[in-house]
Amino acid sequence: MQIGSTTILDTFAEAFGMRYARLIVTAADDHWLEAALRSLSGYATSVIACDAEVGVERYLSPEDTPDGRPGAGVLLFAFSTEGLAKAVPNRVGQCVMTCPTTACYDGLSTNESTEETEKVPLGKNLRFFGDGFQKSKKQDERRYWRIPVMDGEFLVEETAGVAKGIAGGNIILQAVSQSAALAAALRASEAVSEAPGVIAPFPGGVVRSGSKVGSRYKQLVASTNDALCATQRSRVESELVEGANCCYEIVIDGIDEDAVGQAMRTAIETAAGEGVLAIGAGNYGGKLGKFNFRLHEVLGGS
């Protein structure tokens, strides 16, 4: 299959079932909203080493937020509900409550594209920071906590919903040079950032250190994907196409198969172009992940 001069390899991305929460973070203005979002989504690229994979799903106008202020929907993914029960209040407590003017709400129960299944603590845990001065507020069967802070009150919903999602959808692009690969990766990551129901949790939405399962060092569960490293061509069985000198990966987490598949299609179509020789995906032979996204099928081919 071809998109212009770019070959779409006949392979598949292997993704995994995960649990996710969706938070709505608001602030008095865009500056403090961005400050909270950067902190909340920091050190949150891969659950191999992080407590959660986190990213901004979409920005919200004041008309679409619970308190009529600038806001954003943020998705947080972990292997289990128990993992989210730790990561969600920890991250909100350290990164949102500390940021001037912010508030935080459960965004899953208001997200019509998914079905809420479980709850994890949010303000239920953070209220204790109020040292007895916190106050409870209930509105439309939803409970909130007002925690006194030095610029007023931090308003936070008592719990956050958790639902089943998918992590690890991906594409891997191979290009003639680093500059061509970077341009293609940027096109793809920007397009994915506009797609609904997904995040690309790595820095700028792009991964340079793609990994394989296992390592010659027993203590590591993953190590560099040497088959896609141009500098290792003469030392390993390379998976690079002829002429490729640089690879980048776009990893996509989403609320369901449709969201991940559509985002992968968008990423492939926008990444393809001059200097991009091939686009493939990372998988483990279908042995580890439940969800296999075949690139030709994602693009609507046979």
DSSP-derived pairing of the beta strands 103-106 and 12-26: antiparallel
Distance CA 15, CA 251 (A): 10
Query: In terms of pLDDT, which residue wins out, 271 or 139?
Result: 271
Question: Are 250 and 288 part of one and the same domain?
Answer: yes
List the CATH number of the domain containing 37.
Answer: 3.30.70.520
Picking from 111, 135, 163, the residue at the C-terminal end of a domain is 163
Question: Are 240 and 179 part of one and the same domain?
Answer: yes
Question: Are 127 and 208 part of one and the same domain?
Answer: no
pLDDT for the residue 117? 65
- What contacts 133, CB < 8 A, 6 or more positions away? 148
Question: Are 158 and 186 part of one and the same domain?
Answer: no
- How confident is the model over 101-120, as pLDDT tens digits? 999 999 996 544 444 469 99
Question: Are 180 and 156 part of one and the same domain?
Answer: no
pLDDT for the residue 112? 42
- What contacts 71, CB < 8 A, 6 or more positions away? 24, 25, 26, 27, 33, 59, 60, 62, 64, 65
Question: Are 175 and 79 part of one and the same domain?
Answer: no
This prediction has a pTM of 0.93
Which segment of 2-6, 77-81, 287-291 scores lowest on mean pLDDT?
287-291
Work out how many domains the chain is built from and give that number. 2
Q: What is the mean pLDDT of residues 198-225?
A: 93
Question: Are 130 and 255 part of one and the same domain?
Answer: no
Question: Are 172 and 84 part of one and the same domain?
Answer: no
- How confident is the model over 41-52, as pLDDT tens digits? 999 999 989 999
Question: Are 158 and 215 part of one and the same domain?
Answer: no
Distance CA 65, CA 42 (A): 23
Q: Which two tokens stand for residue 146?
A: 């007002």
Domain that holds residue 79: 17-163
Question: Are 143 and 211 part of one and the same domain?
Answer: no
Question: Are 26 and 102 part of one and the same domain?
Answer: yes
Question: Are 98 and 202 part of one and the same domain?
Answer: no
